[in-house]
Amino acid sequence: MRNPLPPTGRWPLPGSPLTLALALSGWLALAATALPGAVTPLRVAIATAFVLVCPGGAAVRAADVLLAARGQRMEALEAGVLTVALSLSCAALTAEGLYLTRGFSTVRALAALATVTTLLTLFTGWLGRRADRGGAASPSPVAGKPGSAKPDSRTGRGRHARTAAALAAAGLLAFTAACGSAGGKGPGSPAGAAGGGSRNSAGPSAPAAPGPWHLVMQDDFLGSTLNSADWTTCYDWNDGGCTNSGNNELEWYLPGQVKLADGALNLTAQRENTKGTDGHQYSWRSGMVSTGRDSWNATPRHTFTHGYFAAAVRVPAAGGMFPAFWLMPDTRSVPPEIDAAEFIGTTQSVELTLHWPAPDGSDQIEQGSYGPQDFAAGYHVFAVDWESDAVTWYVDGVQRFKVTDPAKIPTGAMEVLLNLAVGFPSPPPESVNSATMQVDWVRIWQH
């Protein structure tokens, strides 16, 4: 004879408020990431509680329902150990997968874990309803004693299997943690922890500067098309192209000089006579990207007030090039200006510069530099931490320059730019006809 599946005593029943809370727990943690910086401890507490308990709890709840159908139960200690072990293993595997596909961010990881938790919770509800309709086999009675259960050696085997499952989960967690930490300049390294040679394929997991931090923008430049929701290919005064006339540069920026290939952004300068829409002739055309506007009266895509700005960049070795990674005000009027990295007349030294206006509006600068080093030989991570009381520059994860005078520090919103200018401070030699600046990734964090 078959009896209906009894309710599981340890876990909430399908359709109960607790079941709904478990199903929605991940989305609550995801929503918490949008809380302002002033409540960062609450944001961290909500996300941590979800990651430690809910994915594994949903899986153990499903397993408990299945075991109940066989007349078995997990012990409380077993359930607790499996819950935490499976939660951490699931989190580690999710992070590893996102790193390997160059798509890691806290928001994406939480979204993936939230989806898994919700699906497992719904699956458990389906199991419970199915069991309610179909029933479950009762334990075999001892002859002559109706209702009494006969000892079943399978119970001991089930307990051993569950213990083995807990050990397997712990081993899986250790394995994934080891994979994540292997490889030195790997995906889990701080922003700019290593430089030179090949690209840091998955980008950084955290800024080199002390936090707490919240990732607000990232681009790994995958695929074949620039993300137009984040980037435009000219200055705010774009009109069929643009240039920076303040430096008497030789290039006219055009979108065709901006390409994505092999997981990197390529800004290419070419020696080619080009007529700008400003009526001038330019001997070079080149590429740039900005988080600003498509045209003068358009709305900027992204502006930032304070934050940690990092990019992995490989500058061209050719002479006469002026590659830069920098921030300019969304008012389109400089100074102020923050130059995270500029290469002026050399690739052996990087300039780290802060511009601010004097009382008469003239440009004032304070500048540091780092070198000598052959920056054209490989990728290097350039970063700037812009705070209300200091601006700090990092090269390959190491602090190289800092300004702490509040009177010099910008206070307004800024756009982020990467560009390959040509001809400042001197034109390229006749032997140079092209050059390419490559960007592996960009990350922006805020408190």
Q: Cα separation of 95 and 108, whole Å?
A: 9
Model confidence at 417, in pLDDT bands (50, 70, 90)?
very high
Rounded CA gap, 227 and 265, in Å?
11
Residues in the chain: 447
CATH numbers and ranges of domains, the chain: 2-141+152-181 (no CATH), 214-446 (2.60.120.200)
* Rounded Cα gap, residues 12 and 27, in angstroms: 19
Provide the token pair at 446: 């805020």
Does residue 302 carry a pLDDT above 60? Answer: yes
- Six-digit token pair at 384? 């700037």
Provide the whole-model pTM.
0.62
Over residues 69-94, the pLDDT tens digits come to: 676 777 888 788 888 898 898 888 88
Task: Write the pLDDT tens digit of every residue in 114-153.
Answer: 899 888 888 777 666 666 665 444 444 444 444 444 444 4
> What's the CA gap between 421 and 189, in Å, rounded?
31
363 or 25: which carries more pLDDT confidence?
363
- The residue among 421 and 194 whose pLDDT is bigger is 421
Please give the backbone phi and psi of residue 39, each rounded to the nearest 5 degrees, phi first: -110, 30
CA distance linking residue 252 with residue 254, whole number of Å? 6
**What is the overall mean pLDDT for the chain?**
82
What does the alpha-carbon distance between residue 305 and residue 386 come to, in Å, rounded to a whole number? 8
At 443, give phi and psi (nearest 5°).
-135, 140
Measured CA distances, 16 to 20, 50, 117 (Å): 6, 19, 16
CA 327 to CA 350: how far, in whole Å?
16
The per-residue pLDDT for 38 is 44
> Which of 372, 370, 383 lies closest to 445 in space, CA to CA?
383
Return d(Cα 413, Cα 417) in angstroms, integer. 13
Helix (H) / strand (E) element for 286: namely strand 281-286
